[in-house]
Each structure stands twice: as C-alpha cells, then as structure tokens.
Amino acid sequence: MERQIERRLGELLDRVPGYRGYRAKEDRRDADRRVREHVATVFGARADRIERIAADLANQRRLADIGPVDEFGRTLRHLIDRVRASPSGYGGLFGDRDVDAAALDQLRRFDEGLLVGVEEVDTAIGDLESALTAGGDLAAPARAGTAQVRAVLDRLDLRGQVVETGKPVSEERALAVLDSPGSDAPPPTYGLREGDALAILGDNFMIDARIEVAAEPESGSLRLFRLGPGKPERWLVVPRRGATGLALVSPVVAGPDADVTAGVDGQTTIAGAAYTAVATAAGDGEVVGVGGGSGRRPVGVRLFVGAADPASRAVVLDWDGEQQVLTGSEAHPADIEVFGRASPP
C-alpha cells in the first residue's frame, strides 16, 4: 500500500512540466518556479468553474446559495495569488550553503501536498456542479471546498518556511497541514488542556480555561481555549472538523455592539459587520478551568465567516437564552507551536 501511495504521488509530480526536484542546487529555483506556475494554472481553471456556477446561481436568483459559493471562489483566487507571489530569494533553499537533505525531502512532500490539494478541490467542485444540476443544496459542498482550499493555504505557508530557511519544520507540524481536512481526526490543537503552553506568531501563551461544545451535526463541535495571561481576552477556536478552520477571537462587550441580526441574502450582522453562517448546530457545552468544570448544559453554536473579508470569523454561543459573541480572524496551524505534546483529544 505504501508503495502504491508513493507511486501515485510521484505520478502527480510527473505532471509538472520540466520538474526535476531540488537535489541539484542549480535546479532548485527552476523546480520551485515550475511547481508554483503549474499549481496556479490548474487552480485557475478550477476557480473559473466555481465562478460559472456563481453566475448561474445569480441568473436563477438563488441568492441564498451565492454567498458560500462566492466565498469558495474568492478563497481559491486568494490561494492562486499567494502561490504566484511566493518569494524566490537568495537565502535558504536558494543560497550557497548546503541544504539539509531532510528539508529537500520535506519540500517534495509539500509539493505533493499542493497537487493532492487540486484533487481534493476537484471533488468539492464536482459535488457543487452535481448539486446545481439536481437543484439541491450548494452550501455544504461549497463550504467543504473552502475548507479544502484553506488546507492547501496552510501547506503553502509551511512550504514557504522551508524554502525561506532551507531547514525542515517539525514532523508534527508537517503532518498537521498535509492531512486532509476531510479526515476524521481532529487537528492536533483540539487536544490542548489547561496549563499547556503555546506560541502564536511568536507570542507566548498558556491555556487557562476552555469551552467544550459537543454538537450535532459534528461540524458544530468545537473547543475554545482562553489564552492567558493579559488583555484583551483572547480565545483560540478549534473546530472538531470544520468548515472554518482555526481562529483567534475576542469577546464582544455586551450591549448594542453584541447584537446578532439576520439580514438579507443570508447574511448576518454582528458587531456592525456582515457575516455568512457556515455552521449551525445544537448540543451540550461546558466551561472548564483549573478549578474544574461548570457541568454540561444545552448550547447552540453558530460559526460565521466575514462576507466582505474571508479571513474574518465570528462565533455565537447561545447558552439557554444567554448569548456569548466572539469575533476575530482566522489562524493558520503553521503559525501555532505547542511546547511539548498536547494531551490526546
């Protein structure tokens, strides 16, 4: 089985015209360029398909479906822009010094991960086109596709780090982003516990509390980890398997700014900004701190993505009439480093 997988991945790289890998120094810049050009081109064709679907929806006046499909297309266009803009400097992989062989092997795996991402996005687009033909719900396949694109963005970010430094990242971080978001396994950060230390973009934190929500459907299950110490209060949102990915959010102060108001075209206004709902669920939740848990009680959860800014995030928890609203922005797994191993989920 491993040989079959290895052969299939090798076949994916064979599709990149002129790709010779990174072993020879003189080939590295060319290999990097060829991979990025190929990935940008094939994803560009997929983005065109999504935009045609959005145009068909507009012609059919299916306004409620346009939001998730449009977000899928915009997120994919953002990925294409990022692929094309990736720097090819003169240090790291392209410098004169010898590069660790482990880094070269890892870079090949990230190249394979980008190409596997094309197949993953293809599946979501196929589901989207089938739903359009059948007149069915387009939101679920569109959100699945958006999650797949964000997974490829995470791979691209970590690949860029290897290119820039010429050094491999930890195997744990590599596996975290190379895993498909369709996997049943939760992300590694889902297993964080009170007292665990982590760094986000170089800032150090310690988990001092968490909120656990077990919901149906499972796309609404998530954990929120409070990052201490200091103000403003910040939480790391980690969906169990989700349509939104990780996020860094802060509570919205109670009052008019915390209003959550349904609007037109399926959008919701939260703290004065427009969002699109990507998951709605109900289940049981519990607040857990160093002193113990609050006990489980019913909770509704709604997850949102910014209508104008796809990187914006919002979480609304309804605790039997008491509403908790948090807003912020997406967080990339590659930017998060856990010191030591997080506890098993």
3-state secondary structure the chain: CHHHHHHHHHHHHHCCCCCCCCCCHHHHHHHHHHHHHHHHHHHHHHHHHHHHHHHHHHHCCCHHHHHHHHHHHHHHHHHHHHHHHCCCCCCHHHCCCCCCHHHHHHHHHHHHHHHHHHHHHHHHHHHHHHHHHHCCCCHHHHHHHHHHHHHHHHHHHHHHHHHHHCCCCCHHHHHHHHCCCCCCCCCHHHHCCCCCEEEECCEEEEEEEEEEEEEECHHHCEEEEEEECCCCCEEEEEECCCCCCCEEEEECCCCHHHCEEECHHHEEEECCEEEEEEEEEEEEEEEEECCEECCCEEEEEEEEEECCCCCEEEEEEEECCEEEEEEEEECCHHHEEEECCCCCC
Same domain, 204 and 334: yes
222 and 97, same domain (yes or no): no
Q: Per the domain annotation, does 241 fall within a domain? A: yes
Give yes or no: residues 171 and 238 share one domain.
no
In a domain, 149, yes or no: yes
Q: What is the predicted pLDDT for the residue at 317? A: 93
Chunked mean pLDDT (size 10), the chain, 345 residues: 40 75 76 88 94 90 84 93 74 66 82 87 88 81 87 88 82 75 64 86 90 79 89 89 78 71 74 84 87 85 84 89 90 76 48
Question: What phi and psi values does residue 231 have, to the nearest 5 degrees?
Answer: -120, 155
pLDDT value at residue 217: 66
- Count structural domains, the chain: 2
Please say which residue of 112, 146, 178 terminates a domain: 178
**Pick from 118, 151, 178: which residue ends a domain?**
178
Residues 215 and 108 in one domain: no
Co-location of 75 and 222 in the same domain = no
In a shared domain, residues 118 and 217 = no
Can you tell me which residue has the tokens 């860029």? Answer: 160
Verify that 206 and 151 share a domain, yes or no. no
- Does residue 10 lie within any of the structural domains? yes
Residues 140 and 239 in one domain: no
Regarding whether 317 and 199 lie in a shared domain, the answer is yes
The verdict on 149 and 19 lying in the same domain is yes
pLDDT of residue 5: 35
pLDDT of residue 344: 47
Position 112 scores a pLDDT of 87
Instruction: Give the residue numbers spanning the domain of 144.
Output: 2-178
* Total-model pTM: 0.55
State residue 3's pLDDT score. Answer: 37
Specify whether 142 is located in the same domain as 204: no
pLDDT for the residue 7: 43
Query: So what's the pLDDT on residue 9?
Result: 46
Question: Quick one: 167 and 23 in the same domain?
Answer: yes
